[in-house]
């Protein structure tokens, strides 16, 4: 299908099933964290999936390409980003599989209803508060900083929206790990798997991937570290496999 692009938009290849995505570099483009999250997550073809704060829809597109879920939904508060996501879904002829909804994460349970999803994914804002933000209404600020919602908002809504035994997959920053696990347990989202992501083998981790289960028992496995680069400009084999190169 052909879709109309706005002046600053472009179409990027996703290296999966021939899927493509519309992005606007002047607003915000998806990063490696979203791709690694879909590599870490898992789902069944019978599952319904919700992506909280979907941006331009990268996670639903990649999860559909990888797992062919029964239906996927992206929730996004910024109308311009949601519009790009809708057009990307149309571009890939996936309107029967992926729905994009414009709305607030803090109101998600009222939009969808309790226990509506088998899986939920989220690449939430990492930074606390508005420190260093020049314009709190800017798309990049909203994506990176807890301007419109906090991680507790995300966890609280996830606990309501997941079916019992449903899975929650998220990517975040290691410096907030203690807080993240505390909040997850508070909302009975039991952490079950964790993987730290390192830019290089001799550097500190800069991402953490977590899987939690609603109402799960207390037992978590820590997977082997995921290293991004063998050397500058050269991805490790695990990363090229996740990207589908």
CATH number at residue 235: 3.40.50.150
CA distance 38 to 44: 13
CA distance 89 to 100: 8
- 198 neighbors 206 (Cβ within 8 angstroms): yes
Q: Is residue 2 part of a domain?
A: no
Nearest CA to 28 out of 55, 60, 62, 63 is that of: 55
Domain total in the chain: 1
Q: Is residue 1 part of a domain?
A: no
Count CB-CB contacts under 10 A for residue 241: 11
Q: What is the pLDDT of residue 134?
A: 44
Q: Is residue 217 part of a domain?
A: yes
Q: Is residue 32 part of a domain?
A: yes
CA distance 98 to 74: 8
Token pair of 127 as six digits: 């930074």
pLDDT tens string 154-197:
999 999 999 999 999 999 999 999 999 999 999 999 999 999 99
In the block, tokens 């472009």 appear at 10
Q: What is the pTM of this model?
A: 0.92
Positions of the chain with pLDDT under 70: 126-127, 129-148, 245
């Amino acid at each position: 299908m052909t879709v109309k692009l706005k002046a600053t938009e472009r179409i990027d290849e996703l290296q999966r099933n021939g899927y493509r995505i519309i992005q606007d570099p002047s607003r915000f483009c998806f990063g490696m964290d979203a791709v690694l999250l879909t590599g870490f997550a898992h789902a069944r073809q019978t599952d319904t999936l919700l992506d909280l704060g979907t941006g331009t829809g990268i996670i639903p597109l990649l999860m559909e390409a990888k797992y062919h879920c029964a239906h996927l939904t992206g929730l996004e508060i910024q109308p311009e980003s949601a519009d790009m996501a809708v057009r990307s879904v149309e571009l890939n002829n996936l309107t029967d599989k992926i729905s994009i909804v414009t709305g607030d994460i803090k109101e998600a349970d009222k939009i969808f209803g309790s226990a509506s999803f088998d899986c939920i994914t989220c690449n939430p804002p990492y930074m606390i508060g508005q420190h260093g933000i020049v314009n709190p209404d800017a798309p990049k600020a909203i994506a990176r900083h807890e301007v419109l919602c906090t991680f507790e908002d995300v966890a609280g809504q996830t606990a309501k929206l997941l079916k019992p035994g449903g899975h929650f997959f998220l990517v975040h920053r290691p410096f907030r790990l203690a807080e993240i696990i505390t909040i997850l347990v508070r909302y009975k989202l039991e952490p079950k798997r964790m993987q730290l992501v390192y830019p290089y083998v001799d550097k500190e981790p800069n991402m953490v991937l977590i899987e939690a289960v609603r109402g799960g028992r207390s037992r978590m496995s820590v997977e082997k570290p995921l290293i991004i680069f063998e050397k500058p400009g050269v991805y490790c084999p695990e990363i090229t496999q996740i990207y589908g190169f």
